[in-house]
Structure 1
Amino acid sequence: MNKIIVLALISSLMAGCGGAATTSDFFAKNETATAGVIYGDNSISEVKKSEPNNSVSLALIKKEDFLSLKNKQEGYRVSDFISEDLSWKDQPISAFCSGVLISENQFLTAGHCFAETKCEEFVAAFNYDLTGKDIHGVECKKIEIIKNSLDEEGLDYALVTLTEKVAIKPATLSEKMLSEKSAVYSLGYPLGAYKKKSEGQIVEISEGLYRSDLDLFTGNSGSPVFSAETHELVGIVSSGETDFEENSEGSGPARIKHCQIESCRGEFITPIQKILADIAKTN
């Protein structure tokens, strides 16, 4: 993966969790990354095969990067941009967004994931995880619906139809809204790395959106959020705290920022109830 491709990838990642950004927001003057956010204790962990909803989580990967993965070609890794000694620092950077299977041939993700990416340019990748085995990519047939007006309507999601049916039981959609302090977890691809789980709670419900303290990075946009009690799909990650900002030296690799939810914006989730009507229109 050459430098130009990586810059483009990071630029597309920056359109993920944390809102709109440019490559310069991610890179310092020497083109290394700048900083990231963890709320309180780091809750990010690898996902076990036996984990509920493990199979329904999918990664959105550009076709050229997916081909590199399949051919085991060496590319950029998390440690190339992040200085903190993360347990997953040696994992590849490949995914630009996350998603969740909701029927045998449809998935949900964040609407802003397609601000610059077309249907024919990516695959929905299943089993993109720590094992590095059995990764399976399915092409996009049609982006059915895109809503990307978070500031105006609280809606940021996309519904995508795949070219083939997937032999995976889809996520179960929740029929009711959560209350504040409800325990939740997300499954997604922070920084484009392998699938990760983040655990937290709903901190606030404001103007129909969930605000959470989930530890999410760019690349987590479109990640499914599940109730820790019922394991039903309760929403889609849309935006949150600006993940990358200028560090004190103005150059050098990222130092992950830690902050308490009381003093940070938090991570916002579009409730599944806001999406159900659009899902019904395509079925």
Structure 2
Amino acid sequence: MYKHFLFILFFLLSFLVHASINSTHYLTEDKVIYGEDNTLYAGEYNDQRFVEASKAVAVMIPVDQMIDFGSFYELVRKTTYVDNYPLCKNEINYRGRVHSVCSGFLVDNDVLVTASHCIPDQLACQNGYKWVFGFSKENMASNEPIFVPKRDVFSCEKILESEYNLSANVQKDYAVIKLSRQVETIVPLAFRKEGKINDDDELVLIGYPVGRPQIIADHGQIRDNTFFYFFRTNLDAFIGNSGAPVLNYSTGLVEGIFLSGERDYVFNSVRQCWNIKRCQGVECRGEDVFRITGIDYIAPNKRSWLSRLLPEF
């Protein structure tokens, strides 16, 4: 019995020593800052082109976190695995009050593009989530309940095209979905139809990270533009940005869909909480963006994609 006790004590001490030596651990979420933090709330951004573009970007929220209140939905945040990883106090503003999952953007009045891993099948499309437009800082200005008008909430009617292939040098991860009705008063985003972005073009990301209101991240640079289906950037990206549009700062056109990238939280063993991972210079692997020209459904050299939306007889 005594030997058994000594064995357990030795094991625990060995574990603690190992933990103290290896004090940096990673939580796999798309949340990393490159250099200076280049994120701003969409309504506070100083370029009106992208403030206007942000209106066409929606957030995907689980239906079990939306309570029907007549002409409104109340958004409630249920406990998720993210809550098992408390942020350090200096990072607390990087996590919002709503459990948003992904982002997406309009390419036509009732057609939205996102990442395939966000909407893996028709069941998730129709029953799992809803898409909310106009979710801004004003929605979360206090600790009061969060309400969004139903006119800004849309369901996924069906998946029009989807592909998920993360094999080496491919990174195909996109879904084109038809919404339950047309989105009125919002102009869909214009996107690149041929060719590829220049190596020195600046990038802008618009999405909904970690349950926060809509965020714009700019000053993105291209790390690697040699891949056929995707390119790699140093955009400040967060979990929830998957499916968000990445735009060319010069042209305003959508260049691609944000996918994923660097591991992002770093465990602070002294304070027993998680810090945002920060990368300087060329540190870290970068963030992957799927080229929008790789989507067959909206490619201009294919048969008219708009005709596919017509009813079948």
Indicate the TM-score class for this superposition, using the shorter chain for normalisation: 0.7 to 0.9
Q: What is the deviation of 1:211? A: 0.8
Q: Following TM superposition, by how much is the alpha carbon of 1:58 offset from its aligned partner in structure 2, in angstroms?
A: 0.5
- Retained in 1: the 8 A contact 2:66–2:76? no
Distance in 1 separating the partners of 2:268 and 2:200: 35
**1:256-282 CA deviation, whole Å, 9 max, x = no partner?**
11112512110110111111x223554
Give the Cα separation in 1 of the matches to 2:86 and 2:268. Answer: 16
The alignment covers a number of residue pairs equal to: 252
Partner of 1:230: 251
Q: Which digits, 9 at most, give the CA deviation of each residue in 1:115-138, with x for residues without a partner?
A: 487112111110111111755210
With over 3 angstroms needed to count, the CA separation of the structure-2 counterparts of 1:110 and 1:257, relative to structure 1, is same
1:85 aligns with 2:103: no
Aligned with 1:170 (options 159, 179, 188): 188
Q: Which runs of 4+ in 1 moved over 6 A?
A: 76-80
- Alpha-carbon distance between aligned partners in 2 of 1:137 and 1:93, rounded to the nearest angstrom: 15
Q: Distance in 2 between matches of 1:36 and 1:211?
A: 15
TM-score after normalising by structure 2:
0.71
Aligned to 1:55: 55
Structure 1 length as normaliser, TM-score?
0.78
2:95/2:210 contact within 8 Å kept: no
Q: More displaced, 203-212 or 54-63?
A: 203-212
Cα 1:158–1:95, aligned 2, differ >3 Å: closer, same or farther?
same
Cα RMSD for the two superposed structures: 3.1
Name the structure 2 match of 1:114. Answer: 119
Which residue identity does 1:140 align to in structure 2?
C
Shift of 1:36: 4.6
Checking the alignment, whether the CA contact within 8 Å between 1:125 and 1:137 is kept in structure 2 is: yes
Q: Structure 1 residues 41, 219: closer, same or farther in 2, change over 3 A?
A: same
Superposed counterparts of 1:222-261, under 5 Å: 222-244=243-265, 247-249=267-269, 252-261=272-281
Following the alignment from structure 2 to structure 1, what is the Cα–Cα distance between the partners of residues 102 and 39?
A: 17
Identify if the C-alpha distance between structure 1 residues 94 and 163 changes in structure 2 by more than 3 Å, giving closer, same or farther.
Answer: same
Q: Which consecutive unaligned segments of at least 5 residues does structure 1 have?
A: 1-23, 28-33
Matched, 1:203 2:223: yes
Question: 1:127 aligned to 2:145?
Answer: no
Report the equivalent of 2:301.
none
Q: Aligned with 2:225: secondary structure?
A: strand
Which amino acid in 2 is paired with 1:144? L
Matches within 5 A, 1:69-108: 70-71=73-74, 73=76, 81-86=86-91, 88-89=93-94, 91-108=96-113
* Structure 2 residue corresponding to 1:156, chosen from 162, 169, 173: 173
Which structure has the greater CA radius of gyration? 2
Local SS of the residue matching 2:67: helix
1:182 to 2:201 alignment? yes
